[in-house]
Amino acid sequence: MNGVTWRLGHESALGLANTIHGPAGHRRHRAGDDEPSHDHLETAEAARDFLVHHEVPAPIDLPTAAQLARLRALRTRIRALAAADPPDPDQWRLEINAAFADIRFRLDGDALRSVAPGWDGVIDDLFPAAIDLADRHDRLRTCGNPRCRFLFVDRSRRGSRIWCEMAVCGNRMKVGRHRRNLALGSATPAQPPR
């Protein structure tokens, strides 16, 4: 018998965590200083669309207000893992266990999944995904672009990755720093030819 897994993995938990992000969290959007953060759990439509786009298997129907509240509560717990002052791991697990109290799972093939239908089942299945992500908390990072703030798992050998994506946020931050240096006149002058 193969190993039993959960239906959703830590990538789904990251998808939920990133439903709130800075204005530059959208890849092709150049954010201005005055733009607010984006919260994709503000409306049922935005929640469904964002989660589906980030490969969380969301139902076609819209989540209720109570289901959105559960999603927000779980998102807060996940994002706390990457905070500058993260919660005590034992306390975090106690809170998650309390939230798990009424959830029931069944074996579906080789994957455990919630017995609840629809959105309640998806939210239940996100709890084990959050625990899986918590097991990687030492590699959980917030993007170094303050206008992005996406969470990501640092899979680099040294554990020193700064950006959610170098080609997007890393490039934007480096180009911005270079332009500021040019404006301040502190850019390194070109070396004369030898």
Which residue matches tokens 């150049």?
30
Enter the pTM of the model.
0.82
Q: What is the mean pLDDT of the chain?
A: 84
Q: Residue 98 contacts by C-beta under 8 Å, 6 or more apart in sequence? A: none
The answer to whether the beta carbons of residues 79 and 17 sit under 8 Å apart is yes
Bridge-based pairing state of the strands 151-153 and 38-39: unpaired
Confidence label for 194 from pLDDT (cuts 50, 70 and 90): very low
DSSP 25: G
Q: Residue 119 contacts by C-beta under 8 Å, 6 or more apart in sequence? A: 58, 59, 61, 63, 64, 67
* Tens-place pLDDT, residues 51-95: 999 889 999 999 999 999 999 999 999 999 998 888 888 889 888
Amino acid identity for residue 26 in this structure: H
Question: Which of 98-107, 153-162, 165-174 has the least mean pLDDT?
Answer: 165-174
- The per-residue pLDDT for 85 is 86
